[in-house]
Chain A
Amino acid sequence: AQSVAQPEDQVNVAEGNPLTVKCTYSVSGNPYLFWYVQYPNRGLQFLLKYITGDNLVKGSYGFEAEFNKSQTSFHLKKPSALVSDSALYFCAVRALDNTDKLIFGTGTRLQVFP
């Protein structure tokens, strides 16, 4: 079965420092991978996706993610964190059952300190 794991409940980083939010996946076949962000009391917003092609994917708000097949990872990164990046981040993988269902990780809370 398809699944993603986010090993960190929370990530703390100082403003201006680089940030990484980790995600590993378990799939059979080629994965469709996604990152979403959720601000307090809001729905999820799409950040970026990997379907095929270049392993480095660039997304919204300066975020990027690197697909690493050998390590089965899809970590979210940003070179310089902003306080406004503080939010809940979800990694997701598309189910392989001919639907467009997404299977989400448990989420990682990113806290950026001034």
Chain B
Amino acid sequence: SQTIHQWPATLVQPVGSPLSLECTVEGTSNPNLYWYRQAAGRGLQLLFYSVGIGQISSEVPQNLSASRPQDRQFILSSKKLLLSDSGFYLCASDRGPSGANVLTFGAGSRLTVL
């Protein structure tokens, strides 16, 4: 079955520092991959999605970028973090065991920018 790994689980970074969050998927191939951000423990905002290696679509203008160097690897980055980048970042894949059109989520990475 599919498993999504995210790391680090928790991260505290100063304003202006760089960021790299990693997501890897096991147990499937050629998934669509997604990065969501959840602010203040509530709503989910889709940041990026990818349908294949090197193919990234950005949903909202922001301080972040994403890359997909391998089929099952999805990376969220920033060159200089802002306070507003704090949040809970969730990676998701749509090739899980629950069938078509269903997203499977990783456990998340909590980022605090000070």
Contacts and interface: CB of A to CB of B under 8 A. Distances in A.
A49 to B, nearest CB: 6
B44 A42 contact: no
Q: How large is the interface on A (under 10, 10 to 19, 20 to 34, 35 or more residues)?
A: 20 to 34
Nearest to A108: B42
B46 interface: yes
A90 interface: yes
A44 B90 contact: yes
B107 A46 contact: no
A101 B108 contact: no
B102 A46 contact: yes
B98 interface: yes
Nearest to B32: A100
B106 interface: yes
B103 interface: yes
Interface in B61-114: 88, 90, 92, 94, 96, 98-99, 101-108, 110
A12 to B, nearest CB: 17
B105 A43 contact: yes
Interface in A55-101: 88, 90, 94, 99-101
Interface string A23-36: 00000000010101
B49 A43 contact: no
A104 B43 CA distance: 7
Q: Which of A41, A44, A100, A106 has the most CB of B within 10 A?
A: A100
Contacts of A107: 42-44
Contacts of B49: 99, 101
A102 interface: yes
A65 B99 CA distance: 18
Contacts of B41: 88
Contact of A43 (B32, B46, B51, B106): B106
- Minimum-distance CB pairs A-B, first 4: A43-B105, A104-B44, A106-B43, A44-B105
